[in-house]
Amino acid sequence: MAFFEREFIEIKRENYKMEIVGTLKCSVEQEDVRQYIIAAVKKEKRAIVGGVIIILVMWFLAAVPVLGELVWSNKPDPHLGPGTIMLEVIFCLIALYVTVLSVKAISNSKRIIATADPDSPEQIKANASDAIIWKQKKQWEMCYSHDLVPLESAAKGQPVFLEDGPLYTNRMLVFRRMNASERFLREREEIQLSEYAASLMKARTQTNEPLMVYLDIDKLDSGVYGHAAGKVLGMALPASELEGIAVFSGDSAATLNGSANEFVVAFAGDGARLDRIEAMLRADKTLSGFLSGTAICRSGAREPLVADGTIRNGELTCAAGHSLSFCAAGFNDAWKQMKS
C-alpha cells in the first residue's frame, strides 16, 4: 500500500488572530485518498440535488403572487393589479439571480464529477494534501481552532485558505464572497504564511544536525532501559509533535567503551521541527531527572545507534520485515497511556 507524505504549516486562530505553530509532516495511505475523492464526488452530487431544489423552490415562491390572485383567490373576478405585478417582477428577479448562481454551481459540480477518478495515480497524488486535511478534520485530536496549510502552496504563494469539505473546489469563490474586512484579513494571513514558508525553505538549505538526547541508564530504573527511555521521552512529547520524524537509539560510544552509562535517543528531521522538539524537552522538568551529563544537544557525533523507525499517524513504526525495538515500544506504550 502506497503512502504519501506531505508537509504542512500548522496554524491556530484565537480571537480572529492567526498564530503559526510550526511545521508538521503527515502521511496518508493511497486508499484514504481514494475514499476522499469518492466522498468529494458524493458531496458534489448532493450539491447538484440541493441546487435543483433551490431553483424549484425559488420559482415557486416567485409564482406565489400570481397563484394567490388567479388561482387561490376567492374573488369573483380575479385580476393582477399594479402592486401584484410589481411584487411578481421583484420575486422573479430574485429567483433569476438565484438560478444563475445555482446553475454555475451545478455546472462546476458536474465538471468535478466528470473528471474525478479515484483510480487515477495522477489524481491520487494531486489530492494527497487535501485528503490529509480531510482526514484530520474527521479523526485527529486537534482543536477546531487548529488548521493545516500545505507548505508547498504557501511557498508558491497560492491560495491556501479553503472551506471545509472534500476537494475544496470553491476556494476562490469563497474568497470572492468575503466582505472587505474578511478579504483583507485573509490576504494579510497569506502574506504572513508565504514569508514564513520562504524563510523556512531558506533555513533548510543548511545541514540539519540530529537532535541527541542522552539518558542516564541508572536513573531509568528498569531492566529493559531501552523501553524505559522510549516511554520517558514519549510521555514528554506528544505524538503529533513527532509526525514524520525518524528515531534512532542505542548505547552511546562512551557506554560501550566503559567510560559512561548512558542511552541515546536521536531524532532526525527538518530543523524547524527539531528546534520545537528540543524546546519542549528542555522545558520538561520531569525529563531532567533522567538526563545524563551530556543531556540534550544538536550534534552529528557518530554514535552506534540503530533505526527504530518513523512516527506516522501517532505511532512509531519500523520498516517492513523488522521487529519493533524496545525503545519504539516504549514510545508507543507512552502514547497509548496518554490517550487512556
Report the alpha-carbon angle 62-66-67, nearest 5: 95
Whether residues 106 and 4 share a domain: the answer is yes
Give pLDDT, residue 334: 94
**Are 248 and 268 within 8 A, CB to CB?**
yes
If asked whether residues 223 and 334 sit together in one domain, one would say yes
The pLDDT of residue 177 is 61
Give CA–CA dist 155/60, Å, rounded: 49
Do residue 194 and residue 50 come from a single domain?
yes
Contact by Cβ (8 Å): 10, 21: yes
- Helix or strand (DSSP H, E) at 96: helix 82-115
> Residue 332: its pLDDT value, please?
94
One domain, residues 142 and 279: no
Are 135 and 274 contained in the same domain?
no
The C-alpha atoms of residue 340 and residue 329 are separated, in whole angstroms, by: 16
DSSP character at residue 64: H
Q: State the pLDDT at residue 123.
A: 86
Same domain, 186 and 219: no
CA–CA gap between residue 161 and residue 159 (Å, rounded):
6
Q: Could you tell me if 21 and 117 lie in one domain? A: yes
pLDDT, residue 216, reads: 92
In this structure, the answer to whether residues 242 and 162 fall within a common structural domain is no
> 149-175 burial string, b = 16+ CB within 10 Å, else e?
bbbebbbeeeebbbeebbbbbbeeebb
Question: Which one of 188, 206, 224 terminates a domain?
Answer: 206
What integer pLDDT is reported at residue 143 of this predicted model? 47
238 and 324 in a single domain? The answer is: yes
In a shared domain, residues 222 and 315: yes
Which residues of the chain have a pLDDT value below 70? Answer: 1-2, 73, 76-78, 138-146, 157-178, 201-208, 222, 300, 320-321
Listed residues 179, 206, 233: the one ending a domain? 206
Of 172, 190, 206, the residue at which a domain comes to its end is 206
Structural domains in the chain (count): 2
pTM assigned to the model = 0.51
* Same domain for 321 and 224: yes
Both 240 and 157 in one domain: the answer is no
Q: Structural domain of residue 92, as residue ranges? A: 1-206
